[in-house]
Structure 1
Amino acid sequence: MVDTPFQQPQHLTVRQNRVLALAGVFQAAQLTHITAMTGLNRSNQSESFYLEQLIKSSLCIRPLAELPDPSLNTLDFFYGFNDLMLGLKHLESSLSRPFSIHPKSHIPKLPAAKLSTSYAISLLHLEKQIYQNPQFVEIIEQAQQKILKQFSFFDQNYLHPSIIANLAQAYLDTAGQIQPRILVRGHPEAFKDSQHTDRIRASLFTGLQMAHLWRQMGGRSRQLMFGKRKIMKDIHSIARMQYQLIEK
């Protein structure tokens, strides 16, 4: 692999920006999976950090009149590559998994894939249905405005239970109305805790928002089917840029 010259993050290509947005979807899916399997009591600081970054960005992502928009920059919604590192690693891992011996497509069959990967793919499909429905779009925008207006009352804490609950409700009022729903698997006892389920749904909501950003940048399902090598190449380029930023 040939090293690329040092680049500042704002000089990302359209394709690299799209990969970062896609990594946001996979980060949300991975956080959903971790929370469902381990619960809130076992969540660590890094997981909370990654969720907080997704919540910040999801409150700022808005629908656009025309798609795609090549001027969009994923890092306008994040501080840097570190905010999406969990998603980049999970995306790379998902693309590296061996496919079925007799696949119907280049996407691994969901029963054989990781649960979090199946959540990510489901979010990509759900996003389009949600944003084609004006009523759902209005619900999302109202939830964003409500949270941002009340943010000062939540001690400037994006992980405040009230913010998590509002995001969870926005998910229920939109994606929760579409069949089939995303079925999250986890520890049965954990789902009896409302704060636990709210965090799962809030994570899924951020995934929907990142999926929308991905589509705003020209993201399409066929890119996952036929463009796996290009996505992997962009992930590795981003990793090199991150390394060079640290070394600078």
Structure 2
Amino acid sequence: MSKNWTDLSIALAGLFQATGLVEQLAKTGYVPTDSYKVSIESLFELNPADTLAVYGGNIANLHFGLTILRDVLQQASVGKQRPHAHADALRYSLGILHLQKKLSGRKDMLGVIGSRLKQAAQQAEHFSTTHDNVIANIGGLYSETISTFRFRIQVTGDYNYLQQQRVAHQVRALLLAGIRAATLWRQLGGNRWQLLVHRKKIADAADTLLRSIPLH
């Protein structure tokens, strides 16, 4: 069966959008509102009609993640040994893929995450999807579940931002959004081998999706 490289690229763009936002947040204390909102709201799309529905049904919502995905894969294809602009996002993404695989074998933890996300979705109806209370809830969920694995993602950046409780909650919520994207990727038949063997196909699919987004 041939892979649907477009769907796989959408899922990976969702992953790199979340980790790219973590990278930016940790270094600047700021994230672009629209991209951040899309990543957080993906956590509440538990029964999507299709892959893109996880991200609001509009490919433009993933412009940030698609750009990072394409750049990372294209640089890997060139094979130049120079520092990458998104080195941290790549490191976080690979870490999330590892954690998601661990999580897939923990039905108990998956059950807790599913039920708590439903509660967070109800909370978001009263506030908003990116309200501080909702993000604190999601961040706490990450701490109580994913953070209990022996392997942990070490987020690097500006200490002045990382020590702020608001930023810490946002980082954890985005890492959970990354787990959501990695889960979607696995459900579509994604595996790490593809990133090595078929990265050009994924990069080309990401580039095609980017070029389909209307310029404003």
Please indicate, yes or no, whether the TM-score normalized by the shorter chain is above 0.5.
yes
State which of 13, 20, 41 in structure 2 corresponds to 1:30. 20
Name the TM-score, length of structure 2 as normaliser.
0.89
Of 170, 191, 202 in structure 2, the residue corresponding to residue 199 of structure 1 is: 170
**Preserved contact between residue 25 and residue 167 of structure 2 (Cα < 8 Å):** yes
Letter in 2 for 1:130: L
Provide structure 2 residue ranges, at least 5 long, that are not aligned to the other structure: none
The structure 2 residue matched to 1:81, chosen from 46, 59, 63, is 59
Q: Count residues with an aligned counterpart.
A: 211
Question: In structure 2, what is the equivalent of residue 4 of structure 1?
Answer: none
What amino acid sits opposite 1:84 in the alignment? L
Distance 1:235 1:181, change over 3 A: same
Secondary structure of the residue aligned to 1:179 is coil
List aligned pairs for 1:34-183, cutoff 5 A.
34-39=24-29, 43=30, 47-61=32-46, 73-77=50-54, 78-97=56-75, 98-99=78-79, 114-154=87-127, 157-183=128-154
Larger Rg: 1
The one-letter code matched in structure 1 to 2:66 is: L
8 A contact 2:13–2:62 mirrored in 1: yes
Following TM superposition, the consecutive aligned residue runs of length 4 or more in structure 1 with deviations greater than 3 angstroms are 98-101, 110-113
- For 2:20 and 2:100, the matched residues in 1 are separated by 17
Is 1:19 the counterpart of 2:29? The answer is no
State the match for 1:67 in structure 2. none
1:111 deviation in Å?
A: 10
Q: 1:180 deviation in Å? A: 1.8
Bigger mean CA deviation after superposition, 232-241 or 212-221? 232-241
Which stretches in structure 1 are left out of the alignment for 5+ residues?
A: 1-12, 63-70, 102-107
Partner-residue secondary structure (3-state), 2:212 = helix
User: 2:193 & 2:91 partners in 1: Cα distance?
Assistant: 16
Alignment partner of 1:180: what SS?
coil
Q: 1:190 aligns with which of 153, 161, 179?
A: 161
Cα deviation, residue 72, structure 1:
6.5
Q: Alpha-carbon deviation of 1:25? A: 0.2
- 1:236 and 2:213 aligned: no
Do the aligned partners of residues 23 and 61 (structure 1) sit closer, same or farther apart at CA in structure 2, a change above 3 Å counting? same
Q: CA deviation at 1:148?
A: 1.8
Identical pairs, percent: 26
User: Structure 1 residue 17: deviation in Å?
Assistant: 1.0
Kept in 2: contact 1:19–1:235 (CA 8 A): yes
Q: TM-score, normalised by structure 1?
A: 0.78
State the alpha-carbon separation in 2 of the partners of residues 138 and 236 from structure 1: 36
